[in-house]
Amino acid sequence: MPKTKHNQSVQGAGKQGFAVNLFRLNLYHWLLAALSFTLSLPFLWMVLTSFKPLREVGLDNWWPIDFQWSNYSRVFDLPSMQFGRWYWNSILVSAWVTVLTVLTSAMAAFSFSRLEWPGRNRLFLMYLGTTMLPGLVMMIPSYQIMIQMGLVNSYLGLIIPAAFSAFGTFMLRQFMLTIPRSLDEAAEIDGASKWQVFWEVVMPLARPGMVTLGILTFMGTYQSFFWPLVMLKTTARYTLPIGLLFFDSEQGQETSLLMAAVTMAVVPMLIVFVLLQKQLVKGIQLGGVKG
């Protein structure tokens, strides 16, 4: 009997502890949900304001009384704006920068992590040291180089300087160091060249890190402001951040149209994040555990 009572007391304590842990878990979930909702309020206000007529923008109501679905089409129809063109410019430049950055970073990371050559580690430290320089400091010599190459006010002037990333090289190098060297040796025994080892062995295994770098690069390039502001002189070549600044100055107090334009500008980043969020989380987790 004493043993039975002891077992019952242990079971009761276990159930009580489980209930306490469940309560704490639910409390954390509610707190995170409340925090997420609070952080999403500016985005929610932006979307709802994009459907308001101009007379309702200054009112206290969040929900539009009279939905103006035509605000989105009006953004494209404004004669002084080229919103569709700016949209295409941003996606084009961001896509090219993303592809080239991932490719060049992967090639450099493969060289720094898998190949043996004199001065490799010293050169890598020097290359990594460029990340300590502020972007505004690097902008002046980069702009002078673009002038000498005749690439000012061109898409290439936006793409080429951003196509090489010391951070991306460091990130992929650390990721590739976790891949066993025995795979390289086995491929070379089978007659594979260094390029085949890189393209057919290392690249597929480094895919989570490359996807993570691609997402970060696309989002960073898509919302880049200062470099396009310096480089672009023609309205037709503006990207969305510069175009929206021009939009605001031209349209004055058309807040609802500006919010509609900003909402459409956010859509590509949301699509990229939603479609690739699993790979992003996986790449960050693998980099944190293995790196």
Using one digit for the tens of pLDDT, what is the confidence trace for 109-121?
A: 999 988 888 988 8
Task: State how far the Cα of 73 lies from the Cα of 163, in Å rounded to an integer.
Answer: 34
Q: pLDDT band for 192, please (50, 70, 90 cuts).
A: confident
Q: pLDDT band for 37, please (50, 70, 90 cuts).
A: confident
Task: State how far the Cα of 229 lies from the Cα of 223, in Å rounded to an integer.
Answer: 12
Tracing tokens 């972007």 back to the chain, one arrives at: 135
What's the pLDDT score for residue 102?
95
Q: What does the mean pLDDT of the chain come to?
A: 82
Task: State how far the Cα of 38 lies from the Cα of 72, in Å rounded to an integer.
Answer: 26
What's the pLDDT score for residue 6?
45
- The three-state (H, E, C) secondary structure of the chain, written as one string: CHHHHHHHHHHHHHHHHHHHHHHHHHHHHHHHHHHHHHHHHHHHHHHHHCCCCHHHCCCCCCCCCCCCCHHHHHHHHCCCCCHHHHHHHHHHHHHHHHHHHHHHHHHHHHHHHHCCCCCHHHHHHHHHHHHHCCHHHHHHHHHHHHHHHCCCCCHHHHHCHHHCCHHHHHHHHHHHCCCCHHHHHHHHHCCCCHHHHHHHHHHHHCHHHHHHHHHHHHHHHHCCCHHHHHHCCCHHHCCHHHHHHHHHHHHCCCHHHHHHHHHHHHHHHHHHHHHHHHHHHHHHHHHHHHC
Domain ranges within the chain, ordered by starting residue: 2-49, 80-290
| pLDDT reading at 18 higher than 70 | no
| pLDDT reading at 10 higher than 50 | no
Listed residue (153, 172, 40) closest to 110, CA to CA: 172
Average pLDDT over residues 224-237: 90
What's the pLDDT score for residue 276?
75
Neighbour count for residue 291 (Cβ, 10 Å): 13
What's the pLDDT score for residue 146?
92
8 Å CB contact between 163 and 101: yes
Output 141-148 pairs: Cβ under 8 A, ≥24 positions apart.
Answer: 142/227, 143/230, 143/231, 146/231
Average pLDDT over residues 39-68: 83
| pLDDT reading at 138 higher than 80 | yes
Average pLDDT over residues 27-54: 85
Task: State how far the Cα of 95 lies from the Cα of 158, in Å rounded to an integer.
Answer: 12
What's the pLDDT score for residue 116?
87
Average pLDDT over residues 261-278: 84
Average pLDDT over residues 255-274: 86
| pLDDT reading at 93 higher than 90 | yes
User: What is the tens place of the pLDDT at every residue in 272-291?
Assistant: 878 877 766 666 655 544 44
Task: State how far the Cα of 231 lies from the Cα of 224, in Å rounded to an integer.
Answer: 12
Domain topology for 80-290: MetI-like fold (1.10.3720)
Cα dihedral 41/44/48/49 (nearest 10): 60
Average pLDDT over residues 16-40: 74
8 Å CB contact between 235 and 115: no
What's the pLDDT score for residue 90?
93
Range scoring the smallest mean pLDDT among 75-79, 174-178, 207-211: 75-79
8 Å CB contact between 69 and 53: no
| pLDDT reading at 23 higher than 70 | no
8 Å CB contact between 83 and 76: yes
Taking the alpha carbons at both ends of the chain, their separation in whole angstroms is 55
Range scoring the smallest mean pLDDT among 54-68, 75-89, 152-166, 255-269: 54-68
What's the pLDDT score for residue 217?
92
